[in-house]
Structure formats: structure tokens, C-alpha cells
Amino acid sequence: MNETFDVAIVGAGPAGISAAITLANAGIKTVVVERGEYPGAKNMSGGVLYGHDLGQILPDFTKIPGFPIERNIIESRIWYLSKEAGISVGYRDSIFAGERKQNVFTVGRAKFDRWYADQARKKGALIVPATVVLDLIRENGRVTGVQTGRADGDIHAKVVLIADGVNSRLAVTAGFRPDVKPEHVALAVKEVIELAPEIIDQRFGVSDGNGVTTEILGAVAGGMDGVGVLYTNKASISLALGANLADFSKTKLKPYDLIETFKKHPMVAPLIAGGKSLEYTAHWLPEGGYDTMPKLYGDGYLIAGDSAMLFNAPHREGSNLAMLSGKMAADTIIEAMKTGDFSAKSLSAYNTKLSESKILQDMKKYRGFGGFLYDHKEIFETMPEIVQFGGRELLTVNAESKKTKQDKIIKKLRKDMGIPRFVRLMWSGFRAVK
Amino acid sequence: MKIEDKLFLDRFRVEEESHLKITDADKCKQCEDQPCLNLCPANVYRLEDGCIMVNYEGCLECGSCRIACPKLNIDWNYPRGGFGISHKFG
């Protein structure tokens, strides 16, 4: 396939496909090279997407046949768990079932990305699956294409968009970023657990294709810096659990044992009871934040999505940032096509677009968040135990006065953690997200 | 549910040759922690007669072994295009 295109995109995920749709809309000759058997075959996320951001690329996405939505999310819950107990806070709003429908919705990435790539194909982009990009082609220091694993597999292009995900071999091989450090990613495992739609409706108190997401914090990963999610799909539950990879190294905990323990937690077990596991997958989350982002452009290339470490952990935004960054990369390329200048200077407009958008503004706002969690393991072990102690004291009715109970809780906090440390923790937490 | 049963749920198209190679087996013998034995979500790395065996067939392609290896002793490549795991739901 020794062919020449205007743009070669590496990776048919949300970043690459968003770019491909935008470019194809502008009549630009675009190829997307994907290593999976089909787009989405290697992709995994917790499973939420955001309608506003998808709408920037496909304005009428809900009207496109086959739009693979699982459930429209009307309630977002946050849990803080100890090993045997938990606090639950949720926000449900009828606006999300009405005029702000599809504000957040769940998807399965294998299904969604395949459909999304079909939209790019319909608009004229060429999608080449089952093909690994091994390296970039360069001429005079400028990227001019990609070398694939196929025989005669060189693809020449005016510009290359690297969107091959968080485990980007290409960006590393090309020297555009060092290989990822264990402390900068979370390793997540996920099970998709089949349940009848009406059982999901009953258990979560929803109907009409609506659903609930739950972000799960606290002692969910054996004391590691970890997080869980439990999302409702049409006829399944996505249950995922992730923890910092450096913590996995230190603790020697096994991801598949942890998710089994997680399934048995008294808050989780009743929601998945009777369900049948359909799939087990693993993937990284780029948690390193703003300070681990590589330079996102150079002579003849741009980097988008997870490859660029774009991820907003506290707001569970990743796939949507990939989409928006893919679109901004495409818009930059469309402008550069007018002058034919694909130098780093010309492509630096991409960085300006990202900086002016919520993407880099949010990345900067939360730049300290990952480090804050990683450095404060008490959030994942000591604090949950104190919360459990407090909950049991306050909610157990016995002969003790409430004042006695309150004193016991404060004593526990003093003993296990210390008041100054607790105050410092709160202050650091506030500073990490302010 | 055991890890073997979890992997049994997934769809793999297995290559004849491993995409994961230990560069220098001696380095593994000198490695005290051998984190690959525990952190791999697919239990690809197993100790047999003191040697680390690579059961690449069930690899979920996350990349964790490569970057967590204290000696950076794993030559990690993507499987050939179209091979390896294919997510059904994702």
C-alpha cells in the first residue's frame, strides 16, 4: 500500500476517529491505521461519554442509525468505602432525562468505536484495521509518513497524527516522549457483567433507557491509590477497578484477586448478584497529569488523546478529551493545508487551541491531583477505617450517650491519624483541586 | 472466579510467536521482587523451576510488565495487526 495521503492517523480510537471525521468533512484525503482486528478491538474505558463533546464532531449523533448508546445517565453516585462498609452520595436530576439528555451516557468502546469509525468511513476516510504502525518515516528531520507491519506498507502523508493511546509505542520509538513511568499510570481491570435490563432498572431505580454511574473511592484496592467504577449499561454492568501501577509493584497485589474481592463488597455484591461475566479486559489510565504531557506537535506531526496523557481523573473525562483534541488537531491541519506549511511553527496552532479550551485549562487545574492521591495513602486505608468506626458508632443505638460516641470518634481520629495530619490532608486536597 | 476463567471469556487470536520476550533470563534470576509475577492482570508471567515463563497467549496488552520491570528486561511489542485480544464490549 505504498500510497500518499494528506493525513495519516495512527489509532482508530476517539482521538483518531474524531480527527478523521473532521478532516474527511473538509475533503482532506485521510487514512486511519488501526492495529486491532476492527476499530475498538483494543480499546477500553470505564464507559462514559459526553454528548456535548461528541456533538462538536457529529452534531446530530443521536439521529445517526445504530448510535450505540448503552444508557443515558441521570444520576451520578460517589461512594467512599471501607472494607466492610461505605458512604454513598448521589445526585439525580430530571433535567438529564429531559432537555439535557445524553449529557453523559455509557458506551462499550468496542461497539462505540466501531460505529464511530463507520461514520468516518462514510464521510470518505480510509480505515485500515489489523495493521500495526512500527515507526515514522522522516525526511530531513520532518515526519512524512508511517511505516506499517504490512509488506510494502509505507504510507506517505503531509502530516501524521499520533493517536495510538496511552500505551503509545510509536511516540516512544519516535523519541517524542519517554516511556511511561509506573507511577504515572493506573492499571485498571474491568469486567462486563450481564444482567437483564429490567433487573438493572429495578436495582438502580431507573427506566426508559436511563442509568446510573458510581465512582468508588476509598479502600477499594487493598490500600493502594486506587478507584473503582460501577456503570450501568443496557443489559450489563461495567465493573472496573484500577490502582497506580507503582503501588501494584510495591504491594504485590494481583489485579484479578482485587476485582474478586471488590465484587464481594456489601455495597457492590447486591447490584451484580446473579450476573454473568462476559468479558475481562485491562488498560492503563494516564494519571500523570499536566506535568507528564509530551510536546504535542513538531515538524509534520501532532499527538492527541491518551497518547498525549490527556485525562481529567476527578471528572472521569478522558475519551471526550481525546475526541476534542483529535478535532483540534484536525482543525489545525485544515488550516495548515491552506498554506502547505506543516512545520512545527505552523502546527503550534494546535497547542494554542488546546490552551484556550477546557482541555489544558482543566489539566492545569488538576495538575496536582494525581500526586496528592499518590502521596496520601491514608485516604485509601486509615481514613476509610475511621469513617467506618464513626458510622458504626453513630448508627448503633446502645446505652452510650451521643457525646460519648462523639468523643470516641475524635479519639480514634487522634490516635490513628492525628488532628494536624487530618487538617493538612484536607488542605492539600483542597489545593490539589482548587 | 479464577483468572483462567476470566481469560476464557475473552476472544484471542493467538500468534505463533510471542510478542513478549524476556531479553536476558539471568537478569530475572537476579531480580528480587519479580513484580511481573503479581501485577500482570492476565497472569502471563509464571515461575516454573525458578524460571519465569511467558504465557503470552492471554496477554491483555496493557503494557504494565514492560514499564514495571525493575530491570526493563521485557521486549514488549504489539502483536501483529489483527492478532491478540479483540474486545467484544470494551
Per-residue pLDDT of chain A (434 residues; tens, 9 = 90+): 567 999 999 999 999 999 999 999 999 999 999 999 999 999 999 999 999 999 999 999 999 999 999 999 999 999 999 999 999 999 999 999 999 999 999 999 999 999 999 999 999 999 999 999 999 999 999 999 999 999 889 999 999 999 999 999 999 999 999 999 999 999 999 999 999 999 999 999 999 999 999 999 999 999 999 999 999 999 999 999 999 999 999 999 999 999 999 999 999 999 999 999 999 999 999 999 999 999 999 999 999 999 999 999 999 999 999 999 999 999 999 999 999 999 999 999 999 999 999 999 999 999 999 999 999 999 999 999 999 999 999 999 999 999 999 999 999 999 999 999 999 999 999 999 98
User: What's the grid cell of residue A338?
Assistant: 491552506
Q: Please tell me whether residues A249 and A210 are part of one structural domain.
A: yes
CATH classification at residue A232: 3.30.9.90
Q: Is residue A304 part of a domain?
A: yes
SS3 B54: strand
Q: What pLDDT is recorded for position A2?
A: 65
pLDDT classification of B26: cutoffs 50, 70, 90:
very high
Q: What pLDDT is recorded for position A3?
A: 77
Q: Is residue A217 part of a domain?
A: yes
Q: What pLDDT is recorded for position A434?
A: 87
Q: Please tell me whether residues A156 and A196 are part of one structural domain.
A: no
Last residue of a domain, one of A286, A312, A338: A286
Interatomic CA distance for residues A186 and A242, integer angstroms? 6
Domains, chain B, in order of start with CATH, read 3-80 (3.30.70.20)
Q: What pLDDT is recorded for position A344?
A: 98
A230 Cα distance to chain centroid: 14
Which amino acid, A308?
A
Which residues of chain A are within 8 Å of residue B60 when distances are taken between CB atoms? 280-283
Q: Please tell me whether residues A192 and A327 are part of one structural domain.
A: no
Report the gap between the CA of B25 and the closest CA in chain A (Å): 20
Q: Is residue A84 part of a domain?
A: no
Strands A30-33, A126-128: pairing kind: parallel
Long-range contacts of A351-360 (CB under 8 A, 24+ apart): A351/A296, A351/A297, A353/A328, A354/A296, A354/A325, A354/A328, A357/A324, A357/A328, A358/A324, A359/A310, A359/A321, A359/A324, A359/A325, A359/A328, A360/A290
Inspect the interface and report whether the beta carbons of A111 and B90 lie closer than 8 Å.
yes
Q: Is residue A94 part of a domain?
A: no
Nearest by CB to A249, from B13, B68, B79: name it.
Answer: B68
Q: Please tell me whether residues A172 and A188 are part of one structural domain.
A: no
Inspect the interface and report whether the beta carbons of B39 and A248 lie closer than 8 Å.
yes
Whether residue B43 lies within 8 A of chain A, CB to CB, comes out as yes
Inspect the interface and report whether the beta carbons of B87 and A278 lie closer than 8 Å.
no
Domain limits for position A390:
381-433
Q: Is residue A244 part of a domain?
A: yes
Q: What pLDDT is recorded for position A300?
A: 98
Long-range contacts of B23-26 (CB under 8 A, 24+ apart): B23/B73, B23/B74, B23/B75, B24/B73, B25/B51, B25/B52
Inspect the interface and report whether the beta carbons of B64 and A148 lie closer than 8 Å.
no
Q: Is residue A342 part of a domain?
A: yes
Q: Please tell me whether residues A155 and A18 are part of one structural domain.
A: yes
CATH classification at residue A301: 3.50.50.60
Q: Please tell me whether residues A241 and A321 are part of one structural domain.
A: no
Q: What pLDDT is recorded for position A377?
A: 94
Task: Work out the angle at residue A313's Cα, subtended by the Cα atoms of residues A309 and A316, and round it to the nearest 5 degrees.
Answer: 110
Name residues whose C-beta falls within 8 Å of residue A223's C-beta, 6 or more positions apart in sequence: A251, A377, A380, A381
Cell numbers 506531526 correspond to A301
Inspect the interface and report whether the beta carbons of B67 and A254 lie closer than 8 Å.
no
SS3 B74: strand
Q: Please tell me whether residues A172 and A189 are part of one structural domain.
A: no
How many structural domains is chain A composed of?
3
Interatomic CA distance for residues A377 and A61, integer angstroms? 42
Q: Please tell me whether residues A327 and A193 are part of one structural domain.
A: no
Burial class (CB in 10 A: 0-12, 13-18, 19+), A138: middle
Q: Please tell me whether residues A317 and A207 are part of one structural domain.
A: no
Q: Is residue A101 part of a domain?
A: no
- Give the nearest chain B residue to A43 (CA atoms): B90
Q: A282-302 pLDDT, tens per residue?
A: 999 999 999 999 999 999 999
- Cα–Cα separations (whole angstroms), residue A147 to A1, A2, A150, A404, B21: 10, 10, 8, 71, 22
Last residue of a domain, one of A286, A305, A330: A286
Q: What pLDDT is recorded for position A1?
A: 56
Q: Please tell me whether residues A122 and A53 are part of one structural domain.
A: yes
Q: Please tell me whether residues A113 and A33 are part of one structural domain.
A: yes
Q: Please tell me whether residues A240 and A190 are part of one structural domain.
A: yes
Last residue of a domain, one of A243, A261, A286: A286
Interatomic CA distance for residues A327 and A16, integer angstroms? 9
pLDDT at B31 over 80: yes
A81 Cα distance to chain centroid: 22
Which residues of chain A are within 8 Å of residue B64 when distances are taken between CB atoms? 182, 187, 245, 248, 282, 284
Mean predicted confidence (pLDDT) in B47-68: 97
